[in-house]
């Protein structure tokens, strides 16, 4: 019988042996009370559903108009990539690259990485390089700053609303729902369950 590996509490570093195959819903540290392990019901199914929905929303958000401005009879449509191009054209290529990484590339890689990991596991298969891809997904989470971008868009819309007629496009609504879908995938994901299925630990 394989020995259960040691795991340190992330709050106080007290060592425990936690059986990942246990049916317990949660495990807490006896010293500080921190949650060491929490099982989420139907984690893989829920996370995969959120992720697939997120990928569809991502495609819509990048394919259609984000906002439509009407000023003095002239109508201008903007997309997600429009602002990045404008920043680059003004010589602010570092800022343009940062915006591209945080609102487009990081969320896309996070979605694709989750699908790459979860879909084969759902089919009882282990994808190639799963540990590396799964760790990359976790590393990308802090870089997906879609909420900050959306907040900036809302502030801009309020200010520009006094000068022009602004019509939200389908991409704006899709991007807003995408934020919720990605948050749902992160909240429903049980990382320990993924490592358990491949016999590895994070």
pLDDT on residue 13: 67
147 shares its domain with 53: yes
| Per-residue model confidence as pLDDT tens digits over 96-134 | 999 899 989 999 999 999 999 999 988 888 888 888 999
| Per-residue model confidence as pLDDT tens digits over 11-60 | 676 776 666 555 556 667 777 877 666 666 778 889 999 999 999 999 99
Q: Which residues pair with 69 in a beta bridge?
A: 76, 166
Please answer whether residues 11 and 29 qualify as being in contact, where contact means their C-beta atoms are separated by less than 8 angstroms. yes
The chain-wide mean pLDDT, for the chain, equals: 81
10 shares its domain with 107: no
71 shares its domain with 144: yes
pLDDT on residue 68: 79
93 shares its domain with 63: yes
Instruction: Count how many domains the chain has.
Output: 2
Average pLDDT over residues 174-194: 88
The 3-state secondary structure of the chain reads: CCCCCEEECCCCCCEEECCCCCCCCEEECCCCCCEEEECCCCHHHHHHHHHHHHHHHHHHHCCCCCEEEEECCEEEEECHHHHHHHHHHCCCHHHHHHHHHHHHHHHHHHHHHHHHHHHHHHCCCCCCCHHHHHHHHHHHHHHCCHHHHHHHHHHHHHHHCCCCEEEECHHHHHHHHHHHHHHHHHHHCCHHHHHHHHCCCC
141 shares its domain with 190: yes
Please answer whether residues 16 and 7 qualify as being in contact, where contact means their C-beta atoms are separated by less than 8 angstroms. yes
CATH number of the domain residue 168 falls in: 1.20.140
Give the domain extent around 111. Answer: 41-198
Rounded to two decimals, the pTM is 0.76
pLDDT on residue 37: 63
Q: Which residues pair with 26 in a beta bridge?
A: 38
Kindly tell me if the per-residue pLDDT of 183 is higher than 60: yes
Average pLDDT over residues 164-186: 88
| Per-residue model confidence as pLDDT tens digits over 152-169 | 888 877 777 677 777 788
Tokens of 136: 């990359």
58 shares its domain with 1: no
Tokens of 146: 């879609």
85 shares its domain with 168: yes
Q: Which residues pair with 76 in a beta bridge?
A: 69
């Amino acid at each position: 019988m394989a020995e259960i590996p040691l795991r340190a509490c992330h709050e106080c570093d007290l060592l425990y042996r936690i059986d990942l195959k246990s049916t317990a819903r949660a495990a807490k540290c006896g010293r500080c009370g921190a949650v060491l392990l929490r099982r989420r019901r139907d984690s893989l199914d829920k996370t995969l559903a959120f992720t697939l929905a997120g990928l569809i929303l991502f495609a819509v958000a990048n394919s259609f108009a984000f906002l439509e401005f009407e000023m003095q009879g002239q109508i201008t449509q903007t997309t997600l990539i429009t602002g990045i191009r404008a920043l680059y054209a003004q010589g602010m290529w570092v800022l343009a690259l940062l915006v591209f990484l945080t609102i487009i590339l990081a969320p896309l890689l996070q979605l694709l990485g989750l699908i790459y990991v979860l879909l084969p596991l759902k089919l009882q298969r282990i994808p190639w390089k799963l540990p590396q891809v799964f760790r990359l997904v976790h590393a990308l989470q802090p870089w997906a700053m879609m909420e900050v971008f959306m907040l900036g868009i809302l502030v801009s819309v309020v200010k520009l609303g006094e000068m022009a007629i602004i019509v939200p496009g389908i991409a704006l609504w899709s991007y807003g729902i995408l934020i919720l879908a990605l948050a749902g995938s992160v909240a429903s994901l049980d990382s320990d369950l993924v490592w358990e299925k491949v016999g590895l630990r994070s």
